[in-house]
């Protein structure tokens, strides 16, 4: 969802099939295999780290800058941060190392699910993550991982319509406003181009699941989207909110957090979740089963779930976090500026959890090619 610039750059390397092989970050010596850093009060962090080393992979600029230094200072655990551009990027690295090389990774929910099914994700030990209590109750029973057994949600949100209130008549409230635009909106709407979100509006309008793998249903969605394509300005995953700011587009399909980037530049921009329903996307933290530092990794998750640290994430990203304690403590001005930050977990849960498509994925990609070729 984020870092699409980087996605493009990295994909440039991948385009000719030069697949990245081998995890580039190796743990520097596994000397302290116990790894538990229980004393948070001890001496300054010079010399050998008390709590061992933790290797984490996350999207670039997806956590507050002070988070890691603060964690190191508080726990004495040394953290190495690797970056991945996309879910597939980190999955490829884990694939090459058979689930090794990292202690903890940030991935989107369907990938957390896939890591768990492969047996690569460690069990989350609630006793070591007391701050799990800060999570909204809804965030503890998510369809892809009920009970947070293998993953802990980091950020979450939904997809909807982002629009210029001065250029759109009335208040859009249906995916049809996008899929069958009125005459004054023809050629002034954009849709997301990544498979799951390309099909989402059509599937929801037709009353199907966003996770469907039924070929008949997917074909229907394709036909609808081919109709829409004639009235579409572009498929756009990276600059859709800029297009609203410049006035090039009036109404776009957008992730809630990204619509906020538009709102930050132009107050006439609004966000709405269509009445036919939408998705619930979740980005998660997963501890790897092969990690020799699981306790330290759990400690890191606990640190992220601290209310103040959760607020830091919202400040940085303008995304919602499932950390209810953090959301409750948000500056009201921030919520006034970005109303979708005020969505409650109950409202979010109306969205359908995106799940791994499994065997259905190749047909999905084929449908995407049919729409965009």
Partner 1 sequence: MAVSSPPRSGAPERARRAPGLGARRLALLGPALTWWLVLLVAPVLLILAYSIFRRGIYGGVVYDATFDNFDRLFDPLYLRVVWFSVRVALITTVLALLIGYPVAWFIATRPARWRTALLVLIVLPFWTSMLIRTYAWMALLNDEGLINNWLESIGLIDRPLKLLYNEFAIVLGLLYTYLPLMVLPLYAAIERLPRELREASHDLGAGAVRSFLTVVLPLTRTGVAAGCLFVFVPALGNFIVPELLGGGRRQMVGNLIQVQFLEARDWPFGATLALAVMVLMGIFLFAQAKLAGKDRVEA
Closer Cβ to partner 1, 57 or 293, answer by number? 57
DSSP state of 198: H
Write the CA distances from 134 to 70, 129, 137, 315, 366, integer angstroms.
20, 10, 9, 18, 42
Between 188 and 270, CB nearer to partner 1: 188
Contact yes or no for 149/143 (Cβ under 8 A): no
Distances (CA, A) of 16 to 140, 261, 372: 41, 33, 20
CB 267 within 8 A of CB 95: no
Identity of the residue, 190 or 340, whose beta carbon is nearer to partner 1 in the bound complex: 190
CB of 136 to partner 1, least distance (A): 28
Q: How far is the CB of 125 from partner 1 (least distance, A)?
A: 25
Listed in sequence order, the residues at least 6 apart from 330 whose beta carbon sits closer than 8 Å to its beta carbon are: 311, 314, 341
Give the whole-angstrom CA distance, residue 68 versus residue 80. 9
Q: How many residues does the chain have?
A: 373
Q: How far is the CB of 66 from partner 1 (least distance, A)?
A: 29
Binding residues (CB under 8 A) for partner 1: these are 5, 7-9, 11-12, 14-19, 21, 86, 88-89, 91, 95, 114, 117-118, 190, 193-195, 229, 232-239, 243, 246-248, 356, 358-359, 361-362, 364-366, 368-370, 372-373
**Segment (H or E) for 221:** helix 215-229
Instruction: Decide whether 198 or 285 has the Cβ nearer to partner 1.
Output: 198
CB of 63 to partner 1, least distance (A): 22
Shortest CB 56 distance to partner 1, Å:
21
Could you tell me how far CA 15 lies from the centroid of its own chain? 24
- Residue 64 CB, shortest distance to partner 1, in Å, is 26
Residue 114 or residue 131: which is nearer to partner 1 going by CB?
A: 114
Distances (CA, A) of 340 to 61, 92, 269, 318, 336: 22, 34, 12, 9, 9
Q: Report the residue number, 190 or 260, with the smaller CB distance to partner 1.
A: 190
CB of 220 to partner 1, least distance (A): 18
Question: Based on CB atoms, which residue is closest to partner 1, 135 or 368?
Answer: 368
């Amino acid at each position: 969802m984020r870092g699409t610039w980087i996605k493009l750059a990295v994909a440039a390397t991948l385009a000719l099939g030069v697949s990245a092989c081998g995890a580039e970050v190796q743990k520097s010596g596994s000397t302290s295999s116990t790894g538990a850093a229980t004393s948070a009060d001890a001496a300054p962090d010079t010399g050998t780290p008390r709590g061992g080393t933790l290797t984490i992979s996350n999207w670039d600029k997806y956590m507050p800058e002070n988070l890691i230094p603060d964690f190191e200072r508080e726990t004495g655990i040394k953290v190495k941060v690797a970056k991945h551009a996309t879910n597939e990027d980190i999955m490829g690295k884990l694939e090459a190392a058979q689930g090794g090389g990292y202690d903890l990774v940030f991935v989107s929910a369907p990938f957390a699910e896939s890591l768990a099914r492969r047996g690569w994700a460690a069990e989350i030990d609630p006793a070591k993550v007391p701050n799990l209590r800060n999570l909204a109750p809804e965030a503890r029973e998510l369809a892809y991982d009920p009970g947070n057994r293998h993953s802990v949600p980091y950020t979450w949100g939904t997809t909807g319509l982002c629009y210029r209130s001065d250029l759109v008549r009335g208040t859009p409230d249906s995916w049809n406003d996008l899929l069958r635009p009125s005459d004054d909106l023809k050629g002034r709407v954009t849709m997301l181009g990544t498979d799951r979100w390309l099909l989402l509006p059509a599937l929801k309008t037709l009353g199907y699941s966003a996770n469907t793998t039924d070929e008949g249903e997917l074909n229907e969605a394709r036909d609808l989207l081919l109709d829409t394509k004639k009235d579409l300005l572009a498929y756009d995953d990276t600059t859709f909110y800029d297009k609203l700011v410049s006035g090039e587009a009036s109404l776009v399909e957008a992730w809630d957090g990204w619509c906020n980037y538009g709102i930050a530049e132009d107050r006439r921009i609004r966000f709405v979740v269509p009445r036919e329903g939408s998705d619930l996307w979740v980005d998660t933290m997963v501890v790897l089963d092969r990690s020799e530092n699981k306790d330290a990794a759990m400690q890191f998750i606990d640190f992220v779930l601290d209310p103040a640290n959760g607020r830091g994430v919202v400040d940085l990203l303008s995304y919602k976090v499932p950390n209810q304690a953090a959301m409750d403590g948000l500056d009201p001005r921030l919520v006034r500026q970005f109303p979708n930050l005020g969505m409650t977990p109950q409202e979010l849960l109306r969205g359908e959890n995106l799940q791994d498509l499994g065997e259905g994925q190749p047909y999905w990609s084929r449908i995407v090619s049919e729409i965009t070729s």
